[in-house]
Amino acid sequence: MTTPIVLSLGELLWDMLPSGKRAGGAPVNFAYHAMKNGTEGWAISAVGEDALGDELLAEAEKAGITLPIEQTKVWSGFQADIDGRTPWGNYLIKRDGELVAVISFIDFETHGYHYLRSMHGPAWVAKPTEAEEREVVDAIVDTVKKADKNIAFLRIDTWFADGTEKVLSTVPYDQTVVIDITGGDDEILARMKRRGRRDVRKSLRECPAEVADETDKALTDFSEYYDVMVETGQRDGFTPAPMSDYSDMIGALGADHCRVFAARIEDRVVAWSIVTVNGTHAVRYYAGMRNEVMRLHVTDKLLYSECCILGSQGITEYDLMGIGSDFAPSLKGLNEFKCKFTEEITPVAPARDVPIKKVFYKTLQTVQGVRKALR
């Protein structure tokens, strides 16, 4: 016999009792007692943007979830300052009284419609089965439908494709490289592939660049770093975001959550990266390099230095943010460089669209198809 499923939508809150506060809320309590009576109980609850809400999100950390920075309050604050983006809500997802996932949404308004984006969300305590993920996604869709009639679709990261569509824009990925940066400089180097060790050692012997954390300098004036990004875009065939996007990100996230590392030759920036940090997890978000230094192993020296500096500060994992695969063939050009820094390839849940207004979403797909045909 199939176990009945009880889904409870509503508040998770602090009961302020004489003996002290305790996590509660009628919907969550209902799901808990339903579970005690033999059902499979799920609860989805929004979390407030306040001190008590922060405490509830701390429960996620206690459950063993290392939150991606995009699922944190500091990221919501950064997004709130961007035109057309509004923090929409944070949710805790519980099953049988136990926390299983956290998800935070940003409302994107574009071309007259709204969709919700959750980068690297849901953040799971443990990788779900296809059935578990499907139940959670369906519950999230129901919650969004009831809360906001303006939302056309969700863009979330899912392990399984059932019930989703390929994203209308951006290039999602399903694999990345995560470098273990524990144990000190020598251990970091020893864990690389043979070619990675060779290239890093060559860079340390021969590359004239000096590498440093230049977060303060970049925050004061980002123009020198942006010039490098413009040159990188011209070489690699993309148009960089406006300079303010990068400088605003550094300022909004602050040095605790965003660092700029740079390599200089004769006091001139020739390569740099922007790195986000949350807890013990760092991500290489952006990077640029001048054409003239491509054969000098500058990027090898820069990335290895980043690993060593971050590792010395207690960071344990350094994510290079996506590589190519059959799912993302356009990114395969990144693999030769990134994959030499570790023996392991890390699978991740890629971004997918979940239509809510299905007829409208079909129209968006049709328009996209026409645009591609006219290119």
What CATH number does residue 50 fall under? 3.40.630.30
Count CB-CB contacts under 10 A for residue 330. Answer: 9
Question: Are 97 and 195 in the same domain?
Answer: no
Q: What is the mean pLDDT of residues 208-216?
A: 98
Q: What is the mean pLDDT of residues 222-249?
A: 96
Count CB-CB contacts under 10 A for residue 357. Answer: 18
Question: Are 45 and 100 in the same domain?
Answer: yes
Task: Tell me what pLDDT residue 53 has.
Answer: 54
Question: Are 100 and 168 in the same domain?
Answer: yes
For residue 199, which of 335, 300, 309 has the smallest C-alpha distance? 300
Count CB-CB contacts under 10 A for residue 359. Answer: 7
Q: Calculate the CA dihedral of residues 139, 141, 145, 147 and round it to 10 degrees.
A: 70
The yes-or-no verdict on residue 329 having pLDDT over 50 is: yes
pLDDT band at 169 (very low <50, low <70, confident <90, very high): confident
What whole-number distance in Å separates Cα of residue 215 and Cα of residue 276?
11
What whole-number distance in Å separates Cα of residue 126 and Cα of residue 77?
27
The yes-or-no verdict on residue 4 having pLDDT over 80 is: no
Question: Are 367 and 336 in the same domain?
Answer: no
Range of the domain at 50: 5-172+351-374
Question: Are 120 and 52 in the same domain?
Answer: yes
**Contact call for residues 316 and 277 (beta carbons, < 8 A):** no
Q: What is the mean pLDDT of residues 164-176?
A: 95
The yes-or-no verdict on residue 16 having pLDDT over 60 is: no
What whole-number distance in Å separates Cα of residue 36 and Cα of residue 368?
49
Q: How far apart are the first and last CA of the chain?
A: 55
State yes or no: cis peptide before 122, omega within 30 of 0: yes
pLDDT band at 27 (very low <50, low <70, confident <90, very high): low
By CB atoms closer than 10 A (0-12, 13-18, 19+), residue 269 is: buried
Q: How many domains would you assign to the chain?
A: 2
Tokens encoding 143: 């919650």
Q: How far is CA 140 from CA 72, 106, 280, 370, in A?
A: 18, 14, 29, 31
Question: Which residue(s) pair with 176 in the sheet?
Answer: 346
Question: Which residue(s) pair with 95 in the sheet?
Answer: 42, 98
The yes-or-no verdict on residue 36 having pLDDT over 80 is: no
pLDDT band at 14 (very low <50, low <70, confident <90, very high): very low
Question: Are 269 and 162 in the same domain?
Answer: no
The yes-or-no verdict on residue 50 having pLDDT over 70 is: no
Q: What is the mean pLDDT of residues 83-100?
A: 90
What whole-number distance in Å separates Cα of residue 338 and Cα of residue 194?
13
**Contact call for residues 332 and 188 (beta carbons, < 8 A):** no
What percentage of the chain exceeds 70 in pLDDT? 84
pLDDT band at 374 (very low <50, low <70, confident <90, very high): confident
Question: Are 269 and 358 in the same domain?
Answer: no
Question: Are 243 and 162 in the same domain?
Answer: no
Q: What is the mean pLDDT of residues 73-96?
A: 92
Count CB-CB contacts under 10 A for residue 42. Answer: 22
The yes-or-no verdict on residue 214 having pLDDT over 70 is: yes
Question: Are 343 and 358 in the same domain?
Answer: no
Question: Are 223 and 357 in the same domain?
Answer: no
pTM of the model: 0.84
Question: Are 256 and 295 in the same domain?
Answer: yes
Question: Are 161 and 40 in the same domain?
Answer: yes
Task: Tell me what pLDDT residue 316 has.
Answer: 97
Q: What is the CA radius of gyration of the chain?
A: 22
The yes-or-no verdict on residue 17 having pLDDT over 90 is: no
